[in-house]
Amino acid sequence: MGSGGRLNAGTESRPGDPGRIWKCARDSGEPAGFVPSRSGNTRRISLCWTDDGKGTAVNTLLRDLYSHQAWADALLWKGLEAFPPALKDTAIRNRQHHYHFTQTAFLWVARGTGEPFKRTKPEDYRTDAELKGLGREVNEAFRAFLDVVTESRMQEIVEIPWGPPKPRPSLTLELALTQGAMHSHHHRAQNIARLREMGGTPLPEDFIFWLWKGKPEPDWGQAGIQM
């Protein structure tokens, strides 16, 4: 994947579903399917989604929420790395895994390909760099997805496999991804508060700060998984 987090796009038909065209963005020719997996320190992802060719680009507020999310996630990691005791704190590290893992779950829902979803645990990431790499990669994948997904896809009803028992109200992909961004915001705030309690100095990462700064790109630094 390039440094800007962009994936090459194309179209394909898929076995068992010949009536639909699947648009795919993929990295280095890897098979389609976002299933978090690791091979050493290298992680690769591919995205596929369907659309009827109608509709417009995804709404700008949702795009901004996910652009801010990437910037804020990277900034939180910067603050944690600057205060080494923080990443030795079990609550902080588990929460970092939880919300990055949940980001992959919402991306899996957004793609809706029926591919199996692989659950992970904090201990699956042997180093902080690997866990940070998960956060970086899923944020770059969301950026690639939102660059090309259409409004018609965003208004489709999606199935959320977790949550309260059925029946429950239907949810569009747009609303599901709004929840995804809010979930990340909630858990970032928890870790910011914990970092401050421990004596660290969190960096300002409110949405309005991101706007005032001119919507900067995330700075992931040199640590983490190279893509």
Q: Are strands 8-14 and 17-26 parallel, antiparallel or unpaired?
A: antiparallel
- Where would I find the beta strands (DSSP E) of 27-180? 46-50, 157-158, 171-172
Nearest-angstrom CA–CA distance, 226 and 93: 21
DSSP 8-state code for residue 167 = S
pLDDT digits (tens, 9 = 90+) for 53-69: 444 445 789 999 999 99
Whether the Cβ atoms of residue 220 and residue 132 lie closer than 8 Å to each other:
yes
Instruction: Output the six-digit token pair for 166.
Output: 């059925």
**pLDDT tens-place values along the chain, 227 residues long:** 333 333 344 444 444 444 444 444 444 333 333 333 333 333 333 344 444 444 444 578 999 999 999 999 999 999 999 999 999 999 999 999 999 999 999 999 999 888 888 899 999 999 999 999 999 999 999 999 999 898 889 999 998 888 888 788 889 999 999 999 999 999 999 999 999 999 999 999 999 999 999 999 999 985 433 32
Domains and CATH numbers, the chain: 54-212 (1.20.120.450)
Strand partners, 11: 23
Nearest-angstrom CA–CA distance, 45 and 138: 9
Instruction: Output the six-digit token pair for 152.
Output: 């018609």
Helix (H, G, I), strand (E, B) or coil at 92: helix
Instruction: Output the six-digit token pair for 65.
Output: 């929420």
Nearest-angstrom CA–CA distance, 62 and 78: 24
pTM, full prediction: 0.73
Nearest-angstrom CA–CA distance, 206 and 72: 8
Helix, strand, coil % (nearest 5) of the chain? 50, 15, 40
Q: What end-to-end distance do the CA atoms of the chain give, in Å?
A: 5
Nearest-angstrom CA–CA distance, 65 and 11: 27
Strand partners, 150: 57
pLDDT digits (tens, 9 = 90+) for 138-170: 999 999 999 989 888 999 999 888 888 878 888
